[in-house]
A and B are shown apart, each in its own frame.
Chain A
Amino acid sequence: MSSTSVSMTVNGKSVTKEVPARTLLVSFLRDHLGLTGTHVGCDTSQCGACNVHIDGKCVKSCTVLAAQADGASVTTIEGLAKGDQLHPMQAAFKEHHALQCGFCTPGMIMTGVALANEKSNPSETEIREYLEGNFCRCTGYHNIVKAIETGAKAMRR
């Protein structure tokens, strides 16, 4: 068994684990750390249900080895809220009914936060284009776009 030692900061906490080299970051988060908010929806790096932030950049955790994230700081959906206080993007998703089954939602919110960090006042077109790597089968994206618009605005405050 080819294993490797991995250390990283996840949602502000340092973790070190010995894992098989083939462990994907998403599996490290879900199976080794119990952070099941990050989901797997495809195997071709397209759906974005697994999106997390590595050192502030939004990435598909199903296409990154845990070993590649060694030494990095990872933020998952579980790391956005401060205690009971929702992150503005989370609050905007609820307010605008931007989720139905909820499965794509964590990845959508992580993408929304990343966009807002890049562009504080994204247009509808910019939001739709930025969502190229996130599939939602429930909402037709209409309310997701509205939520990200609102969430980005709220993040500016």
Chain B
Amino acid sequence: MANPNGIGASVRRVEDNRFITGRGTYTDDINRPGQTYGWFVRSPHAAAKIKSINAKKALAMPGVIAVLTGADMAADNIGGLPCGWLVKSKDGSPMKEPGHPPLANDRVRHVGDQVAFVIAATREGARDAADAVEVSYEPLKAAVDAAAALKPGAPLVHDDVPGNLCYDWEWGDKAKTDEAFKNAAHVTKLKVINNRLVPNAIEPRAAIGEYDRASDRYTLYTTTQNPHVIRLLMGAFVLHVPESKLRVVAPDVGGGFGSKIFHYAEEAVVTWAAKKTGQTIKWTCDRSESFVTDAHGRDHTTEAELAMDKNGKFLGLRVHTIASMGAYLSTFASSVPTYLYATLLAGQYSTPAIYANVKAVFTNTVPVDAYRGAGRPEACYILERIVENAAREMKLDKTEIRRRNLVPAAAMPYMTPVALQYDSGNFAHNLDVGLKAADYAGFAKRKEASAKQGKLRGIGLSTYIEACGIAPSAVAGALGARAGLYEAAEVRFHPTGTVTVFTGSHSHGQGHETTFAQVVATKLGVPFENIEIVHGDTDRIPFGMGTYGSRSIAVGGVAIVEACEKIITKSKKIAAHVLQTTADKIDFEDGVFKDKASNKTMTIAEVAFTAYVPHNFPHDTLEPGLDEQAFYDPKNFTYPNGCYVCEVEIAQDTGEVSIASFYAVDDFGKVINPMIVEGQVHGGLGQGIGQALLEHCVYDHQSGQLISGSYMDYAMPRADNLPSFNVSTTEVPCTHNVLGVKGCGEAGAIGAPAAVMNAVVDALSNLGINHIEMPATSQNVWQAMQGATKKAAD
């Protein structure tokens, strides 16, 4: 490796310098001249009619500038928040897309729904005034649980959506799958709930709306993962403002995990209100407010059946899922329980026939959308849980049943029956590495040792595969995506040889400022410290799609490489001109251009200087400047995959579960920065273990009030809940991108829940317990143990 800071090195992060010294610039850290403050009046009801809104008292309070309502927005012809993915029901009809007004009109549909926006000179003053806004509600019955909302006679979330059914979608070959079940020697059945989660990026959302009358331009600073997507959706669908008049800036963003992908009402309201009131307005979410406004994740109820022959070979998988959409369709909500879920139901197995039916349901709850993994954790969970139970029922070792069904490496590329083509992977190898690392063979001894301490010990496996690098546009478009899914990059040399890279990816913890610079340093031979990565500002970067679905390196990173290739091509022409030869005679390596014939050389910095000081350029054949842009639209998804092994201990007296060990083996293809990749796995595991053991978003079934509405009741994983992780990678390069990368952001959150829950069930299986719902809280486990003991006694 010529460059010590190039691809493959654990380079310490460039961005850390500002974060560890308190000099990051998050949205709420930005203060604009003359800034005022906004606060939202929100619905205390899950479902109600708004009879009247009286802002007289509020407007009379000191410092209050305006109180705006849905009527004001309607008068300005402001549109509803759009959904970016059209899903069609199995009968061919389009999904139901009820209106999603940024400020409610006559109805509120979940606790936290926006009712009015108060603007005042101070934040507390705005909140004082919001308390004084009198809203008269007529409470209605709420539909809270998705399954109940489907039942006849359930209260309607939207009057124009019969039965609260958004869509009734199917995937896979039903007839073939039904046939497979007819021939089965054994069928394992399992009903599971994938618990609703609150994403909880530690930075609460915030937005600043600004309008400049002189240029008729708006600026929105917002906590988003994809500023151009927000600009497009807000400009085109909501505010009807030309994109040229709209700048969206996503500065440092304090975590996203999916929840900051979506275009939220507050962004549109502050931007619109900025012009309407002539004020620059800052809105910052309180944590309790974020619990009832940030899109939630998961919330599936699934019945699954796995058909096997007498040897435990999988013949077919049938899955029926009910997915809550919440009260409105959030930006990518419709795609999560469909194209990001059912397409992954093959997992790492060669199951020949798979059929999935998904009913998406409106409920009087916060909208549900993508959260780290988005659909893929749900698929992995149901599959790996049923496989584990199948092994038990077939009296096969959990590793043996997997080995009999894993897609062999030799079968790559492998076409699944659910429309994905895996390009690469060596699943059996990952399993071997994982089992060896975790000392699977020594488990019985450890179980015995735990028993001596009064603890039940269990071991659980999961194998996962995910479709990442969300793209390509053509496939996504055919499946209903209303956006393209490429990524953009621009590599701009400056005359003195330093480089600025503009990327459409957005870093909110992923470390792109470091990783992308490593890629450029390797490709162009420029010193790492001479490379600056710019992201997050629609006025500076080319039209980019942002960061989600573990796509940044696999799509954004490759776009940068393509732009680098263009730089090299152009540089060869310049070098050829200077060295008096032709471009095809020029070699490029480690930042140096060499004329193969004369051995004369020129550094890339010299080329850049010449490009900007083109004193004797032949202008008919050679343009000055060294600045190239690329848009990269991949050929396929990438398929990170891996094997996780978890051991748990359960205290017999309290039911308390603790993680005894966790081993993760991941194939992310080529790894650019191992340190950062490990960190991504750790974080994903933390969230996955959180889902399995702690986190649960609970609504009151009747009233639709959010019970777990703060950190007092929503259990966030803390340092003492989690173990030290043992992580490693196996590199099977992706075959269809030049970097060979697959992406690593979501893996941990996808693979961990099943590994943990399989371990929990394994620990309890002697009691006859074959399933426990997530989260496996002490009470849940204790109750299961009580139930099992009682059953045994009866």
What residues make up the interface of A, taking CB atoms closer than 8 Å to B? Answer: 20, 22, 30-31, 35-44, 46-47, 49, 76-78, 80-81, 86, 90, 93-95, 97, 99-106, 109, 124-125, 127-129, 131-132, 134-145
Contact = CB atoms under 8 A, between A and B. Distances in A.
B685 interface: yes
Contact of A132 (B16, B257, B718): B718
A99 B19 contact: yes
A148 to B, nearest CB: 10
B265 to A, nearest CB: 21
11 contacts: A43-B287, A43-B288, A47-B711, A101-B255, A103-B26, A106-B20, A106-B22, A139-B679, A140-B725, A141-B717, A142-B682
Contacts of B201: 101, 103, 137
A44 B509 contact: no
B572 interface: no
Contacts of A94: 12-13, 16-17, 20
B13 A136 contact: no
Given A78-B21, A138-B509, A97 B711 contact: no
A131 B718 contact: yes
A102 B19 contact: yes
A97 B23 CA distance: 17
Interface string B708-733: 00111000111110101100000000
For the residues of A in contact with B, the DSSP-based class is loop
Given A97-B12, A142-B725, A103 B287 contact: no
A104 B26 CA distance: 12
B786 to A, nearest CB: 30
Contacts of B711: 42, 44, 46-47, 135
B178 interface: no
Nearest to B29: A36
A101 B536 CA distance: 14
A39 B13 contact: no
B254 interface: yes
A39 B203 contact: yes
Contacts of B22: 35-38, 76-78, 106
A6 to B, nearest CB: 16
Contacts of B679: 97, 100, 138-139, 143
B682 A41 contact: no
A127 to B, nearest CB: 7
A141 B722 contact: yes
B539 interface: no
A77 B17 CA distance: 12
Interface string B253-294: 111110000000000000000000000000010111000000
B683 interface: yes
B202 A97 contact: no
Given A131-B718, A138-B683, A139-B686, A93 B20 contact: yes
Contacts of B31: 31
B24 A135 contact: no
B719 A131 contact: yes
A152 B563 CA distance: 44
| 9 closest cross-chain pairs (CB), A and B | A37-B22, A103-B254, A102-B19, A140-B686, A101-B509, A100-B509, A77-B22, A140-B682, A131-B719
A26 B338 CA distance: 44
A41 B722 CA distance: 21
B238 to A, nearest CB: 27
Nearest to A124: B724
A90 B287 contact: no
A35 to B, nearest CB: 7
A38 B625 CA distance: 43
Contacts of B203: 39, 41, 101, 103
B148 interface: no
A129 B720 CA distance: 6
Interface in B674-710: 675-676, 678-680, 682-687, 689, 710
Contact of B719 (A38, A44, A77, A128): A128
Contacts of B204: 40-41
Contact of B254 (A102, A124, A134): A102
Contacts of B24: 37, 102-103
Nearest to B680: A100
A43 to B, nearest CB: 5
A16 B147 CA distance: 59
Contacts of A144: 719
B720 A128 contact: yes
B505 interface: no
B124 interface: yes
Given A103-B254, A140-B686, A81 B21 contact: yes
A20 B122 CA distance: 11
B330 interface: no
Contacts of A30: 29
Contacts of A102: 15-16, 18-20, 24, 252, 254, 509
B20 A109 contact: yes
B655 interface: no
B195 interface: no
Nearest to A78: B22
Nearest to B257: A137
A69 to B, nearest CB: 18
B287 A93 contact: no
Given A101-B255, A137-B201, 5 more contacts: A42-B711, A101-B252, A125-B720, A139-B686, A144-B719
Given A44-B712, A103-B254, A137 B200 contact: yes
A94 B430 CA distance: 31
Contacts of B678: 97
A107 B644 CA distance: 32
A42 B287 contact: yes
A7 B26 CA distance: 28
A103 B202 contact: yes
B724 A142 contact: yes
A97 B288 contact: no
A13 B29 CA distance: 21
B718 A101 contact: no
Interface in B438-495: none
Interface string B1-39: 000000000001101111111111110110100000000
Nearest to B10: A97
Contacts of B426: none
A109 B719 CA distance: 14
B658 to A, nearest CB: 12
A142 B664 CA distance: 14
B719 A99 contact: no
B758 interface: no
Nearest to B727: A142
B194 interface: no
